Chain A
Amino acid sequence: MALFGLLAASTSAFGQTVDVQQYWNSASESKAMNTIADAYKARGGKWIDSPSADFDSAIAAATSRIAGGEPPSAVLMNPNAAMRDLASGQLRDFDDLAAKNGWQKAIAPIVWDKLNVDKHLVGLPVGIHADNWIWYSKSLFQAAGIDEPKTLDEMFAAADKLKAAGHTAFAVGGEPWQEVSILTSMIIALGGPEYWNELFIKRDPEALKSPLLPRAFELFRKVSTYTDPASPGRSWNETTNMVVTGKAGMQFMGDWARGEFLAAGQVAGKEFGCFLAPTDKPAYAIVVDIFAFPVNKDEDRIKGQTLLAETVMDPAVEAKLAAVKGSVPSRLDVDTSTLDLCAAKGVKALATPGVTVSSTYDALPGDLNGRMTDLATQFWTDPSMTVEAGVKGLADILQSK
Chain B
Amino acid sequence: MTTWLKRQGFKPNITVAIFFAVVAVFFYGSILWTSYMSLTRSTLIPKYEVVGLVQYVDLFTNQRWLVSCLNMVIFGVFYMVGTLAFGILLAVLADRRIKAESFFRTIFLYPLAVSLIITGLSWRWLLDPTSGLQALVRGMGWESFTFDWLTRPDRAIYTLVIASIWHSAGLVMVIVLAGLRGIDSDLWKAIRMEGIPLWRAYLQVIFPGMRPVIASCVVLLMSEVIRGYDLIIAMTKGGPGIATEMPAKFAVDFYFTRVNLGLASAASMMMLLLSLLLLTPYFYSEFRRRI
Contact = CB atoms under 8 A, between A and B. Distances in A.
A joins B in a complex: yes
Interface of A: 55-56, 59-60, 63, 81-82, 85-86, 88, 90, 174-176, 229-233, 366-367, 370-371, 374-375, 377-378, 380-382, 393
Contacts of A393: 63
14 contacts: A60-B255, A60-B257, A81-B43, A176-B239, A176-B242, A230-B129, A232-B239, A233-B236, A233-B237, A367-B260, A377-B240, A377-B242, A378-B242, A381-B153
B64 interface: yes
Q: Which interface residue of A86, A232, A382, A393 has the most chain B CB atoms within 10 A?
A: A232
A60 B256 contact: yes
Contacts of B124: 233
A381 B45 contact: no
Contacts of A86: 44-45
B43 A85 contact: yes
B79 to A, nearest CB: 21
B242 A59 contact: no
B253 interface: yes
Interface residues on B, range: 20 to 34
B58 to A, nearest CB: 8
B253 to A, nearest CB: 7
Contact of B259 (A85, A90, A229, A377): A85
Contact of A56 (B130, B236, B256): B256
B254 interface: yes
A180 to B, nearest CB: 11
Given A86-B45, A174-B239, A382-B153, 8 more contacts: A63-B256, A82-B44, A85-B43, A85-B45, A232-B156, A233-B124, A370-B253, A378-B242
Nearest to B245: A374
Q: Describe B's contact surface by its main secondary structure.
A: loop
B240 A174 contact: yes
Contacts of B252: 60
Contacts, number: 92
Interface residues of A, dominant DSSP: helix
A176 B63 CA distance: 15
A371 B59 CA distance: 12
A382 B241 contact: yes
Contacts of A59: 256-257
B257 A374 contact: no
B151 interface: yes
B128 interface: yes
Contacts of A176: 238-239, 241-242
A63 to B, nearest CB: 6
A374 B153 contact: no
A82 B241 contact: no
B288 to A, nearest CB: 43
